[in-house]
Amino acid sequence: MTLPNEDEIQLHNEIAGAGTGLPQPLRAVWRTLYWTYERATWQYDLMVIAILAFVWLTPPSWIGDPHAGGLGPIGWLTAWLRG
């Protein structure tokens, strides 16, 4: 595995908008929307987890899924909480 050189790191930071002077929380949002990360990085893993959570946890009725059956984990939980 080769480590990126300084020019590559600087380019990545510039492209990722690190130099735009945004405060930290906004910078994280910016970097999520303006995606410059490679596969098999922890940021990529986090994105995959977020996507899978949306796909598997969202109750199908919330998005009007014509084919999915069942409530989904969040649906079960809200149904259980309602009694």
Partner 1 sequence: MTFTGFIGTVCMFPLRAIIRACVVLRIHPNVLTFVGVLINLIAAWALATGRFVTAGGIMIAANIFDFIDGKVAREMGMESAFGGFWDSVMDRFSDLALFLGLVYLYSSVHRTDYVVITVMAMIFTVLTSYARARAESVVAKCKVGFMERPERIVLFMIGAFTNRMAAVLWVILVLSILTVADRIFYTWRELERAKAPERVPV
Q: How far is the CB of 60 from partner 1 (least distance, A)?
A: 7
Residue 47 interacts with partner 1 (CB under 8 A): yes or no: yes
Tell me which residues in 7-36 interact with partner 1 (CB under 8 A): 15, 33-36
Residue 68 interacts with partner 1 (CB under 8 A): yes or no: yes
Which value, to the nearest 10 degrees, does the dihedral of the CA atoms of residues 74, 76, 77, 83 take?
150
C-beta of 66 vs 83, nearer to partner 1: 66
- Intra-chain end-to-end CA distance of the chain, in Å: 55
Which value, to the nearest 10 degrees, does the dihedral of the CA atoms of residues 67, 44, 38, 34 take?
80
C-beta neighbour count of 71 within 10 angstroms: 16
What does the binding site for partner 1 look like in residue numbers (CB under 8 A)? 15, 33-36, 39-42, 44-45, 47-48, 51-52, 54-56, 58, 60, 63-69
